[in-house]
A and B are shown apart, each in its own frame.
Chain A
Amino acid sequence: MTRNPQSRRISSETLIQLAVDTLRSDIRPAIPAEQRYTLAMVANALEIARRDMVTDGDSALWDLLDAVYPDGDGTAERLAHDIRHGHVHDGAPPDLRALLKAIVIGELRIRNPRFLKSREIGG
């Protein structure tokens, strides 16, 4: 029988999720009410980090940068600058707003999927 040395490894994602679950189920009831907001922030930060580890949140940005800067030198800074100064606009590329929306949605899949749900956008 072949053994896989990785098969029983606990993933970092699982570890963070366990930490979040423990904070909420065991720690939250035991701390004073005025510290619960801080605990909620800590749990939220951990969940964002967990989603970031398993989600490719930058693909939409790279798609847009590749479309606008075929030389491969595109960055978010350059794109922001060129939008402000009118070098990149609704006409070029023609679907600029949709591509920007895709970037923002990609970020929200990591940062706040519930927000997407409230806007009736699939998380």
Chain B
Amino acid sequence: MSTSRPRTLDPANLDPLVTYLAHALGAERVRVSSAELLSGGAVQENWSLYVEVVGGPRAGSARWVLRTDAAARLPVSLDRTGEFAVLQTANAAGVRIAEPILECADAAVIGAPFMLQAFLAGTAQARRLVRTPDLAAWGGDVAVELAHQLAKIHAIRPGLNSAERLSFLPQPLLPPARAEVARLRGMLDGAGEARPALEYALTWLDQNAPAPNPLCLVHGDYRTGNYMVADGQLSAILDWEFAHWGDPLEDIGWFCARCWRFGNDAMEAGGIARRDVFVDAYVHTSDLSVRPADIIYWEVMAAVKWAAIAVLQGDRYRKGGEDAIELVLTGLMPSEMELDALLLIEQLEGTQNG
């Protein structure tokens, strides 16, 4: 069993890539002076490219990021073509992201489908962000900006002209919370480990769903670790492969969930700011009224979803996969999220009964 993951792009043989880029960009020629694998990206690979384009609308020197589908993709994630359409839509809506440049669905070019985005400086490393000594100086401002950006994302709604590129995204047949429960149960059906506490939390979520909000684009992984901060400012929202139509509170609950505070538990908004700072900024920008209990409901959903993903990660080892030790350790994590889910349910029922 190996702990190394097979790579797709071969930096020693970039000819197929530059030939493709020259054609796709309408350039006379393209030169890639360096290709370096970036850290991060459990699901996909990220490469930094220094590119020189001669001729065509993109002529000039630039630094881009090439993102591939990795060898093992989570079944719930969008492929690169789908994610690129989401990025184009978000870009047009003015959401702060790295500009999407092109996508290539042909796996033959570098060994996997890929897309290119502009490179932006900054760090997305969650543990580093929540532990920076100057967090108090920028955490609140970044949380407010994240709330404003989230409100822009949630203003993208099915049926609007601005969302025409997203017609491929399926609309849930049930209210989003119940649809999510059904989806998570489906994910667990093929799993190699039964989790009674997880099933209990799923049943509770199914029976206690709040009234749904208007359907909107949900980022699907809106949390610390998936945005970049440079010089105390939000520079870009990352990792859109889990985007879907859903309830806006899904993203808020995910952002505030304890499992995504990276140990900085007192800062309930992603480990970087107080919850009210984030939620108040969101409410101020969006047309949504938000009940605190509904956010906690979606935090239960977040814990359950992360637990289900961890069960599936463990399955990748049980059923024969790569990166064995990381997957096995992740496969042992569901009990953490199950405990958080049970504690939140106790909290909610205590509030209602008390």
Contacts and interface: CB of A to CB of B under 8 A. Distances in A.
B104 to A, nearest CB: 29
B197 A103 contact: yes
Given A45-B325, A80-B196, A84-B185, A38 B339 contact: no
Contacts of A105: 339
Interface string A103-123: 111011001100110110100
B212 interface: no
Contacts of A103: 196-197
A92 B199 CA distance: 15
- If over half of A's interface residues share one DSSP class (helix, strand or loop), that class is named, otherwise mixed; here it is helix
Interface string B170-207: 00000000000000010000000011111110110000
A42 B1 CA distance: 14
A38 B329 CA distance: 11
Given A38-B3, A83-B200, A84-B203, A107 B335 contact: yes
Contact of A119 (B185, B200, B343): B343
Interface string A84-105: 1010010000001100110111
Contact of B339 (A64, A83, A86, A119): A119
B346 A118 contact: no
B265 interface: yes
A67 interface: no
B329 A44 contact: yes
A97 B3 contact: no
Contacts of A100: 196-197, 200, 338, 342
Interface size range of chain B in the complex? 20 to 34
Contacts of A41: 325-326, 329
B94 interface: no
B280 interface: no
Contacts of B325: 38, 41-42, 45
A48 to B, nearest CB: 7
Nearest to A103: B197
Contact of B200 (A96, A111, A112): A96
A76 B265 contact: no
13 contacts: A41-B325, A77-B194, A86-B203, A100-B200, A100-B338, A104-B335, A108-B335, A108-B336, A111-B333, A112-B333, A115-B336, A118-B263, A119-B340
**Lowest 3 A-B CB distances belong to which pairs?**
A80-B194, A107-B335, A77-B194
Given A76-B194, A100-B196, A104-B339, 17 more contacts: A38-B3, A38-B325, A41-B325, A44-B329, A45-B328, A45-B329, A80-B199, A81-B194, A86-B203, A97-B345, A104-B197, A105-B339, A108-B339, A111-B335, A112-B336, A118-B263, A121-B339
Interface of A: 38, 41-42, 44-45, 48, 64, 75-77, 79-81, 83-84, 86, 89, 96-97, 100-101, 103-105, 107-108, 111-112, 115-116, 118-119, 121
